[in-house]
Amino acid sequence: MFPFHTWLPDAHTEAPTVGSVILAAVLLKMGTYGFLRFNMPLFPQAALYFVPLFSILAIIGIVYGALVSMVQKDLKRLVAFSSVSHLGFVMLGLFTFTMPGVQGGIIQMINHGLSTGALFLIVGMIYERRHTRMIADFGGLSTPMPIYAIIFMIVTLSSIGLPGLNGFVGEFLILLGTFKTNPIYATIAASGVIFAACYMLWMFQRVMFGEVTNEKNKDLKDLSCREIAIFVPLLLFIVWIGVYPSTFLDKTKASTENFVALMEKAKATKVSLIHGDKGEAR
């Protein structure tokens, strides 16, 4: 979360591809899982007290991460800062303490692992061929690498939340839950979706479209069967969650209901204590 995010882009940039994938797909979720499974249930009153602070920090992370991604020249750093933005959505959803918001936060944890993990694989595969991650060194890659371009496009659209793909489900539920609790927060956070479309599509255009101006890009080999096989399960889940999310939402429904009920009980206790104190004062 902002402002404790500064290690993340550097860690992703310096790590090998497999390290970035594990970090994005698994390790970052330990933080959000810790909030959901331990911090909030053990300290519900404190969680309710800090809702404005964490919501504002999450929104700053969403917008700031998107804006910083927009000016990155390194593909990997762009994806890393987009990770900050997406995890801001997760935290915003969890701190709504509503069924749509919390379930959206949980499904977005999965979505982030799929979409961002796939993006790091995509960057890693092109780095193995060109030994550079600078956006300016590419251009027109869709001509020598059409299969790579198709997979890259699907994952890009997944990351920006296109309806029918996994990212839309998580972001929609999070914004729905946020709108129920604070429409202003939801409105500002929704701008992150627009910014995500700007920096991801602009990046894709510069890397994949146009003429091949660099001679080193003209003879690049397209994805091998092994590389395509790596993406098949990721693409399967990207489409599956986007088309039929209830398969995954039903698995978390019972535990989410218990969590929301716990927070509602804590909220009711807090209200009764406040009214009780006022009654004693009178």
Q: Is residue 2 part of a domain?
A: no
Number of residues that make up the chain: 282
Are the C-beta atoms of residues 84 and 6 closer than 8 Å to each other? no
Q: How far is the C-alpha of 85 from the C-alpha of 189, rounded, in Å?
A: 10
142: in domain? yes
Query: Given this model, what pLDDT does residue 276 score?
Result: 58
- Do residues 172 and 186 lie in contact, with contact meaning Cβ atoms separated by under 8 Å? no
Q: Spell out the residues 6+ positions from residue 35 whose beta carbon is closer than 8 angstroms to its own.
A: 91, 94
Report how far residue 198's alpha carbon sits from residue 209's, in angstroms, rounded to the nearest whole number: 16
Q: If pLDDT is split at 50, 70 and 90, which confidence band does 270 have?
A: low
Asked if residue 216 is part of any domain, the answer here is: yes
Look at residue 282 in the predicted model and tell me its pLDDT. Answer: 44
* pLDDT above 90 as % of the chain: 71
Q: Cα(185)–Cα(26) distance, rounded to whole angstroms?
A: 28
pLDDT in tens, 71-87: 999 999 999 999 899 99
Q: Is residue 1 part of a domain?
A: no
The number of distinct structural domains making up the chain is 1
Percent of the chain with pLDDT over 70: 95
Here the contacts of 223-229 (C-beta below 8 Å, separation 24 or greater) are 223/125, 223/145, 223/147, 223/148, 223/151, 227/125, 228/147, 228/151
Mean pLDDT confidence for 219-241: 93
Q: How confident is the model at residue 272 (pLDDT cuts 50, 70, 90)?
A: low
Q: Which of 120, 99, 123 has its CA nearest to residue 28?
A: 120
Average pLDDT of the residues in 134-151 = 91
Q: Is the pLDDT of residue 281 over 50?
A: no
Assess whether pLDDT exceeds 80 at residue 275: no
pLDDT-wise least confident of 34-43, 211-220, 266-275 = 266-275
Q: Quick one: pLDDT at residue 212?
A: 83
Residue 224 has pLDDT above 70, yes or no: yes
CB-based contact 95:135 (threshold 8 Å): no
Q: In the prediction, which pLDDT does 277 show?
A: 55
Binned at pLDDT 50, 70 and 90, residue 269 comes out as confident
For residue 3, give the DSSP letter: T
The two tokens of residue 194 are: 């627009």
User: Is the predicted pLDDT of residue 274 greater than 60, yes or no?
Assistant: no
User: What CA–CA distance (Å, rounded) separates 203 from 104?
Assistant: 27
| Residue 73 included in any domain | yes
pLDDT digit string (tens) for 103-119? 999 999 999 999 999 99
Q: Does residue 268 lie within any of the structural domains?
A: yes
Cα 273 from Cα 174, distance rounded (Å)? 30
Q: Which of 222, 235, 225 is nearest to 142 (CA)?
A: 222
Segments forming the whole domain that contains residue 208: 7-281
Q: In 3-state terms, what secondary structure has residue 74?
A: strand
In this structure, is residue 13 part of a structural domain? Answer: yes
Share the mean pLDDT of the chain.
Answer: 90
pLDDT tens by residue, 12-65: 888 898 999 998 888 888 889 999 999 999 999 999 999 999 999 999 999 999
Read off the pLDDT of residues 147-180 as tens digits, 9 standing for 90 and up: 999 999 999 999 999 999 999 999 999 999 999 9
| Residue type for position 60 | I
What does the radius of gyration of the chain's CA atoms come to, in whole angstroms?
21
DSSP letter (8 states) at residue 25: I
Q: Give the predicted TM-score (pTM) of the model.
A: 0.89
Instruction: Please report whether residue 256 resides in a domain.
Output: yes
User: What is the identity of the amino acid at 139?
Assistant: G
Q: How many CA atoms lie within 13 A of 233 on its CB side?
A: 4
